[in-house]
Amino acid sequence: MPGKEPGGATRTVIVTVDDDPAVSRAVARDLRRRYGERHRIVRAESGESALGALREMRLRGDRVAVIMADFRMPSMNGIEFLEQAMDVYPAARRVLLTAYADTTAAIDAINVVDLDHYLLKPWDPPEEKLYPVVDDLLDAWLATDHRPVSETKVVGHRWSARSSEVREFLARNQVPYRWYASDEPEGQGLLAAAEEDGLRLPLVITTDGNVLVEPSDQDLASGAGLATTPSARFYDLVVIGGGPAGLGAAVYGASEGLRTVLTERTATGGQAGQSSRIENYLGFPDGVSGVQLTDRAHRQANKFGAEILTACEVTSLEVSGSSRTVRFSDGSEVSAHTVILATGVSYRQLAAPGVTELTGRGIYYGSALTEAAGCKGEDVYIVGGANSAGQAAVYLARGAKSVTILVRGSSLTASMSHYLIQQIAATPGVSVRTGTEVVSAHGTDHLEQITLRDTSTGETELVDAQYLFVFIGAAPRTDWLDGVVRRDEHGFVVTGPDLAAAGQRPAGWPLDRPPYHLESSVPGVFVAGDARAESAKRVASAVGEGAMAVMLVHRYLERL
């Protein structure tokens, strides 16, 4: 474990390298005598082993203040070592230990490795020949800001679709991270520390120094300490989906004593969790961001004992007697007496040439919060006329050069809340183009232009665009339920009275009673939120349905 300063912070490191074991121990001994209380002294007996130690420390986020290396070392001399060490810790102060006969080489090294000092051996007494030099070097190092980056580190290409997905995954799961472009010095330094050439990106370095190359969502979740596997095999209630409906169900289920597990394929919050500000949610007169609302609900569910699993993609639901078994893409499974389907909806894909190829490289679906920093000073276009599009426009307008909302219809009034329409009208830099659609996207490695078409005249226009955010329609994530529960022609799950004509039981319904209001065509499988046919598609109603579904779960369990 790294040493700690009295205040709890990780101690800065002084590294010394000498191939002579006796000299190596002597240098480390003298350094510890003077600096051991506030600095960690790391010694190595070869340049290769020292570089390995430096790379590990860089990945952990340790701070290295001074590196001392002997000039005459076999395989890799001190100058060669310091030259490579510069790539790992460019801000560390560099000292060469030399004999009198090597002073010319030491002077030449000042230009080669930007040497800060060279020390002649022997350095006795250290009070006169060693400590004053190191004191000055430490003072110079401390005069600049070298606070460690404690966040997860992500190295990738700006216009890489997978790099964008990784950043989105971490952001939505509220995992602090810092982004490093692979073509900039800091990113290249991290790649060198990880001994990667940058051909396999993104590269993620966790807070404990583990390196993940081209990680899957499950790798990311595990590396960030998120739960990905259930602690038991059987529960009272499995909630599938972590949006407002799913979180509401988890809170009420766990708080009322049900053994509850919630599974989420990406991140809790759903589409609402990506909203920059929700201003029509009861109890928040000044509005609340989707992240804040999600975080509070997540913590509330944990408080009552609900398990929350991330990066768990459900592939099937099987019914066997009173048991309902949920299977995941990795082959694992979990069973329960009851299931609440709260899978929500996803944005529909924009069907236009060039869009698929440039998705994640300037074209994004609901990623306004994550990509906002890159939009500063750029021309941004938003496709969609619902609340999510309006919230994104107001948020992005803070830094973008311009924000243009593209709507196929004649106005926003049919699909957007009145308060948002007023905000958009009052926000500088935001404009609305009605009767307009995107018919193609253009660019080489990233989006550069889009072609717009007037839906009434058919005229087209080519415009410059660096970013295009898509918020169109709602496609339910229910394909995996095909043949298990009844769905309507659009894929939304049919429930309760809608399953059969008034006063009649649905065909194939096995129980004497009719289905409960939120119950699907399979007894004990309930639906809440946007995935339910004829649902209100609002955050408040989704939370309410999650709570109501739990009430009906209790009613169902009482009859088992």
> Tell me: the pLDDT tens digits for 382-418?
999 999 999 999 999 999 999 999 999 999 998 899 9
pLDDT number for residue 103: 60
Q: Where in the chain is the domain with CATH 3.40.30.10?
A: 152-219
DSSP type of residue 4: B
Q: What are phi and psi of 242, to 5 degrees?
A: -115, 25
136: amino acid identity, one letter: D
What band does 4 get if pLDDT is binned at 50, 70 and 90? Answer: very low
Q: 213-217, 287-291, 344-348, 436-440 — which is least confidently predicted?
A: 287-291
Who's near 69: CB < 8 A, 6+ residues apart? 16, 17, 18, 47, 50, 78, 81, 82, 85, 94, 95, 96, 97
Average pLDDT, the chain: 90
DSSP type of residue 487: B
**By percentage, how much of the chain surpasses pLDDT 70?**
94
What band does 1 get if pLDDT is binned at 50, 70 and 90? Answer: very low
pLDDT number for residue 386: 92
Q: Considering only residues 83 and 510, tell me which one the structure prediction assigns the higher pLDDT.
A: 510
Strands, E assignment, 323-427: 323-328, 333-341, 345-346, 363-365, 379-383, 402-406
Helix (H) / strand (E) containing 41: strand 39-44
pLDDT number for residue 272: 85
pLDDT digit string (tens) for 171-205? 899 888 889 999 998 899 899 989 898 899 999 99
Asked if the model's pLDDT at residue 430 lies above 90, the reply is: yes
Q: Thinking of the domain 152-219, which architecture would CATH place it in?
A: 3-Layer(aba) Sandwich (3.40)
pLDDT digit string (tens) for 27-74? 999 999 999 999 999 999 999 999 999 988 888 888 999 999 998 888
What band does 560 get if pLDDT is binned at 50, 70 and 90? Answer: confident
Asked if the model's pLDDT at residue 26 lies above 80, the reply is: yes
Find the mean pLDDT for residues 544-558.
97
Q: Where in the chain is the domain with CATH 3.40.50.2300?
A: 12-142
Asked if the model's pLDDT at residue 6 lies above 60, the reply is: no
Asked if the model's pLDDT at residue 5 lies above 50, the reply is: no
438: amino acid identity, one letter: V
Helix (H) / strand (E) containing 212: strand 211-213
Asked if the model's pLDDT at residue 107 lies above 70, the reply is: no
pLDDT digit string (tens) for 264-305? 999 999 888 888 888 888 888 878 888 889 988 999 999 999
283: amino acid identity, one letter: G
Helix (H) / strand (E) containing 108: helix 103-112
Q: 12-142 falls under which CATH superfamily? A: Response regulator (3.40.50.2300)
**C-alpha–C-alpha distance, residues 47 and 71, integer Å:** 10
Q: Where is mean pLDDT largest: 2-16, 152-166, 239-253, 407-421?
A: 239-253
Asked if the model's pLDDT at residue 350 lies above 70, the reply is: yes
> What tokens appear for 224 in the block?
């960030």
Domain 355-470 in CATH 3.40.718.10? The answer is no
6: amino acid identity, one letter: P
pLDDT number for residue 113: 61
What band does 7 get if pLDDT is binned at 50, 70 and 90? Answer: very low
Q: Where in the chain is the domain with CATH 3.50.50.60?
A: 234-346+475-558, 355-470
Asked if the model's pLDDT at residue 8 lies above 50, the reply is: no
Asked whether 184 and 155 are in contact (CB, 8 A), the reply is: no
Angle between helices 103-112 and 78-88 (to 10 degrees): 20
Asked if the model's pLDDT at residue 9 lies above 70, the reply is: no
pLDDT digit string (tens) for 209-245? 899 999 999 999 999 999 999 999 999 999 999 999 9
Helix (H) / strand (E) containing 514: none
| 3-state DSSP assignment of residue 196 | coil
> What tokens appear for 532 in the block?
């339910």
**CATH number assigned to the domain covering 234-346+475-558:** 3.50.50.60
pLDDT number for residue 535: 92
pLDDT digit string (tens) for 484-521? 999 999 999 999 989 986 556 777 899 999 999 999 99
pLDDT number for residue 3: 42
**C-alpha–C-alpha distance, residues 525 and 476, integer Å:** 17
